[in-house]
């Protein structure tokens, strides 16, 4: 996208409007056009970045939905669209209850961090945790062996998940 073309259109419109005035008004408009160029450039870039963020947020629930970003490459605006992480396929209805409950004991600090992260993503803590667990299980990299024991009951690594399950 031609970024400079957008800037020139704004400056040309300002000059056209100033043409109605006297020579002093036209000189002021020319000076003003030069001085507002960085502000107009920044405003356009901010508007496009906000639009990209809104598009990405609107597509969060789409499995493998795209992530949209806007960047400046020299005098060109580039819109980058990358594939998001694919979400795990939805389980079929015959997998049991549609809802299961667990109790999770967290430190107050971790709970506050979870609430903040969920808030940033516009989700409830429950939805955020479900998404995090789904993404972790869908990754299937096998790099984490939480809860798996090696010979003699010792863990393969030092990472461990403990907690209470109700139901």
Residue pLDDT tens, the chain, 167 long: 777 888 889 888 988 988 889 999 989 988 988 888 888 888 888 888 888 888 888 887 777 777 888 877 777 788 888 876 554 444 433 444 556 777 788 888 888 898 888 888 877 888 888 888 887 777 665 444 444 444 444 444 444 555 555 54
The residue among 7, 90, 8, 74 whose CA lies nearest residue 43 is 7
Q: How many domains does the chain have?
A: 1
Residue 31 domain-assigned? yes
User: So what's the pLDDT on residue 94?
Assistant: 43
Task: Domain of residue 79: give its range.
Answer: 1-86
Token pair, residue 3, equals 């970024």
What is the per-residue pLDDT for 23?
A: 92
d(CA 92, CA 59): 23
Closest by Cα among 53, 47, 50, 49 to 66:
53
For residue 83, the 8-state DSSP code is E
Q: Model pTM?
A: 0.45
User: Tokens 């109605």 identify what position?
Assistant: 20
Max Cα-Cα span within the chain: 92
Instruction: Tell me whether residue 125 is in a domain.
Output: no
142 and 149 Cβ atoms separated by less than 8 Å: no
Which phi and psi (to 5°) does residue 114 adopt? -65, -45
Does any domain span residue 46? yes
Quote the CA–CA distance of 51 and 55 in Å, as a whole number. Answer: 6
Residue 110 covered by a domain: no
> Does 61 fall in a domain?
yes
Domain assignment of residue 114, yes or no: no
Residue 137, domain member (yes or no): no
Q: Please give the pLDDT value at position 91.
A: 44
Report yes or no on 95 lying in a domain.
no
């Amino acid at each position: 996208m031609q970024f400079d073309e957008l800037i020139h259109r704004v400056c040309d419109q300002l000059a056209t409007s100033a043409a109605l005035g006297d020579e002093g008004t036209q000189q002021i408009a020319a000076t003003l056009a030069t001085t507002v160029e960085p502000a107009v450039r920044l405003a356009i870039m901010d508007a496009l970045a906000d639009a990209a963020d809104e598009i990405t947020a609107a597509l969060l629930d789409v499995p493998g939905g795209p992530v949209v970003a806007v960047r400046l490459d020299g005098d060109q605006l580039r819109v980058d669209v990358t594939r998001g992480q694919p979400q795990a396929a939805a389980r079929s209805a015959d997998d049991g209850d549609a809802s299961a409950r667990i109790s999770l004991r967290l430190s107050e600090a971790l709970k506050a961090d979870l609430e903040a992260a969920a808030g940033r993503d516009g989700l409830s803590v429950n939805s955020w945790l479900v998404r995090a667990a789904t993404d972790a299980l869908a990754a299937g990299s096998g790099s984490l062996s939480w809860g798996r024991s090696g010979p003699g009951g010792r863990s393969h690594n030092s990472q461990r998940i403990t907690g209470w399950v109700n139901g």
